[in-house]
């Protein structure tokens, strides 16, 4: 990573002032799940990184039937929030498809929209929702409609000194919804993603139909012709198939290293039909069901700052709880958490693999959630709790999950096992009796390229059953 300065402003005004001063030379850092890979590969070379993760933009608030989502709402919050599930459940389904569990632990809504990957789920989701983005700069505030926000691949209409602060969507509790995607492997960006929202009237005819696609153009697109073809009509299987065909016919997706344009177009037709079918089934099912009462409360507390924040800095002391002990570590702005753990502290149970968040070898727990330490800047760990494999040690001995791995022959290599143990443990803390399929899904972001996952899943099942003892 090249050298840059790091600032963690405590207020939005301070952040905006820094952006006004440094403009093109500064980059905002939110979850880091797109920016840090770019920094790792020197594809982004800012002189200043402005870390906004500590700003109070984490709220999920329901107001007059509208959801106001702070730009720093993380992908996992969209998956887990009751308010989102009640008032805009499609967002949870879309977020669940993003990357792997570590990406979803840190990646943010505002970051995903600002990054504007044409294949990403949330840009397509907000396009379907006709969301409005609140944007701030030192010279004022403005609102941008989602349909006007994306300007091309990885390009938006944001000026260099602007920050997305909030995303506002109308609640869609009466709409049926579906997010359909085809990806080459679990965790990959989808080749094509389709978001459908449909509501029906009392006679069962389509009242509102919205269809947005990702991965088929240089930005998310709406299939307006297909939507028009459905409005006011009975949503029969033939009519849904015809609408999907209309959507497909009007697309001209580009070819790339992963798929030809013709294949993407074909996929788009299939996924539109599937998405519409599922969305209509849900809309018909929910018809007549009363909308649940709102719970406007869950504002999510911002992360606690525990780092000297006088921006910008070249080197600083980061205070954290590392494997249960308070530590103060001198860190450089351009150092990842992985580098800090291995190179500064000599904690080699954290492994370095891909450096882009894919393999899971560098997994650590950050405040109890698995993250890729290769994609976290060391100064951003401010006041948080980090656990590496050695933090699982109990009274000088192995953790029961490690014992289960040994018993079931699941310690296949020293490279992947630490990350697998930490990911699995975090999952099993929340899910006490998962089935094998749920365990498989939980581990899908931790890659094994030698033998496979059978013994690992055996060990996890045994641990979940409470099996103990060495043998
Ligand atoms: C292995 C892997 C797999 C992934 N798979 C997927 C996937 O399948 N689908 C998907 O959608 N994404 C995927 N991602 C990307 C992920 O969703 C990112 O979290 C997201 O794109 C960026 O969010 P962030 O908060 O991490 O932003 P950051 O990485 O912090 O920032 C990304 C960009 O947005 C800018 N930015 C961030 N926040 C703001 C803001 N509030 N206002 C203005 N500018 C801002 C930054 O300056 C930067 O240019 C994947 C990432 C990885 C590492
Ligand atoms: S996920 Fe960090 S090294 Fe592969
Ligand atoms: S467990 Fe490491 S490659 Fe299979």
Q: Is the pLDDT of residue 306 over 80?
A: no
Assign a CATH topology to domain 5-53+302-389: Ubiquitin-like (UB roll) (3.10.20)
Tell me the best of 103, 117, 184, 188 to mutate to test the pocket of ligand 1, counting ligand atoms within 8 Å of each CB and taking the most.
103
| Residue 391: predicted pLDDT | 95
Instruction: Quote the pTM value.
Output: 0.90
Q: Is the dihedral of CA 107, 109, 110, 111 positive or negative?
A: positive
The CATH code of the domain at 60-286 is: 3.30.465.10
| Structure token digits, residue 207 | 């009242």
| Distance between CA atoms of residues 453 and 82, nearest Å | 33
- CA 307 to centroid of chain Cα atoms: 25
The mean pLDDT of 288-296, rounded to a whole number, is 38
Domain locations in the chain as residue ranges: 5-53+302-389, 60-286, 393-464
5-53+302-389 and 60-286 have identical folds: no
- Closest ligand 1 atom, residue 108 Cα: 25
Instruction: State the distance from the centre of ligand 1 to the C-alpha of 361, rounded, in angstroms.
Output: 20
Q: Is the pLDDT of residue 300 over 60?
A: no
Rounded to the nearest 10 degrees, how much is the dihedral formed by the CA atoms of 420, 377, 138, 68?
A: 10
| Distance between CA atoms of residues 269 and 264, nearest Å | 9
Angle at 77 between CA 76 and CA 79, to 5 degrees: 65
Q: Is the pLDDT of residue 129 over 60?
A: yes
| Structure token digits, residue 346 | 């000599």
Q: Is the pLDDT of residue 469 over 80?
A: no
Q: Is the pLDDT of residue 70 over 60?
A: yes
| Residue 294: predicted pLDDT | 35
- One DSSP character per residue, 48-73 reads EEEE-TTSS---EEEETTEEEEETT-
Q: Is the pLDDT of residue 291 over 70?
A: no
| Per-residue pLDDT band at 289 (split at 50, 70, 90) | very low
Angle formed by the axes of helices 89-96 and 121-128, to 10°? Answer: 160
Ligand 2 proximity of 415 Cβ (cutoff 6 Å): no
Ligand 3 proximity of 285 Cβ (cutoff 6 Å): no
Average pLDDT of the chain is 92
| Per-residue pLDDT band at 243 (split at 50, 70, 90) | very high
Q: Which ligand is nearest to the CA of 30?
A: 1
| Residue 296: predicted pLDDT | 33
Share of the chain above pLDDT 70, in %: 93
The mean pLDDT of 58-68, rounded to a whole number, is 95
| Structure token digits, residue 204 | 């069962």
Instruction: State the distance from the centre of ligand 2 to the C-alpha of 419, rounded, in angstroms.
Output: 9
| Per-residue pLDDT band at 174 (split at 50, 70, 90) | confident
Q: Is the pLDDT of residue 98 over 50?
A: yes
Residue 449, class by beta-carbon neighbours within 10 Å (0-12 exposed, 13-18 middle, 19+ buried)? exposed
| Residue 432: predicted pLDDT | 84
Ligand 2 proximity of 193 Cβ (cutoff 6 Å): no
Tell me the best of 101, 340, 372, 377 to mutate to test the pocket of ligand 2, counting ligand atoms within 8 Å of each CB and taking the most.
372
Assign a CATH topology to domain 393-464: DNA polymerase; domain 1 (1.10.150)
Lowest mean pLDDT among 18-22, 285-289, 338-342: 285-289
Pairing of strands 206-214, 132-137: unpaired
């Amino acid at each position: 990573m090249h050298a840059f300065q790091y600032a963690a402003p405590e207020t939005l005004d301070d952040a905006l002032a820094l952006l006004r001063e440094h403009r093109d030379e500064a980059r905002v850092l939110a979850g880091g799940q797109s920016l840090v890979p770019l920094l790792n590969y020197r594809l982004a070379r800012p002189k200043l990184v402005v870390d906004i993760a500590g700003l109070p933009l984490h709220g999920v608030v329901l107001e007059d039937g509208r959801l106001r989502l702070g730009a720093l709402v993380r992908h996992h919050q969209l998956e887990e929030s009751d308010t989102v599930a009640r008032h805009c459940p499609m967002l949870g389904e879309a977020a669940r498809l993003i990357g792997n569990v570590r990406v979803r632990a840190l990646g943010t809504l505002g970051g995903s929209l600002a990054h504007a990957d044409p294949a990403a789920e949330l840009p397509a989701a907000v396009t379907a929702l006709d969301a409005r983005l609140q944007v701030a700069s030192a010279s004022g505030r403005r609102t941008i409609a989602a349909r006007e926000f994306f300007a091309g691949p990885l390009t938006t209409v944001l000026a260099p000194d602007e920050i997305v602060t909030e995303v506002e969507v109308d609640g869609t509790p009466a709409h049926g919804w579906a997010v359909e995607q085809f990806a080459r492997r679990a965790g990959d960006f989808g080749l094509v993603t389709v978001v459908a929202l449909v509501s029906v009237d009392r006679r069962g005819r389509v009242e509102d139909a919205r269809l947005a696609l990702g991965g088929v153009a240089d930005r998310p697109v709406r299939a307006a012709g297909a939507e028009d073809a459905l409005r006011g009509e009975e949503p029969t299987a033939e009519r849904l198939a015809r609408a999907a065909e209309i959507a497909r016919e009007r697309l001209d997706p580009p070819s790339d290293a992963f798929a030809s344009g013709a294949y993407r177009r074909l996929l788009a037709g299939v996924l539109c039909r599937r998405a519409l079918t599922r969305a209509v089934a849900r809309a018909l099912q929910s018809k007549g069901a009363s909308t649940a009462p709102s719970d406007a409360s869950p504002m999510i507390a911002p992360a606690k700052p525990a780092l000297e924040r006088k921006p910008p800095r070249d080197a600083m002391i980061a205070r954290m709880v590392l494997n249960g002990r308070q530590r103060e570590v001198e860190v450089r702005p351009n150092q990842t958490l992985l580098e800090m753990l291995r190179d500064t502290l000599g904690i080699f149970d954290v492994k370095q693999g891909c450096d882009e968040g894919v393999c899971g070898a560098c997994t650590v727990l950050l405040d109890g959630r698995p993250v890729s330490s290769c994609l976290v800047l060391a100064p951003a760990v401010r006041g948080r709790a980090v656990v590496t494999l050695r933090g699982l040690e109990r009274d000088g001995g192995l953790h029961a999950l490690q014992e289960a791995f040994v018993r079931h022959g699941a310690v296949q290599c020293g490279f992947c096992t630490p990350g697998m143990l930490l990911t699995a443990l975090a999952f099993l803390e929340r899910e006490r009796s998962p089935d094998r399929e749920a365990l498989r899904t939980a581990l899908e972001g931790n890659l094994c390229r030698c033998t496979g996952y059978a013994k690992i899943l055996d060990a996890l099942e045994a641990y979940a059953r409470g099996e103990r003892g060495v043998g």
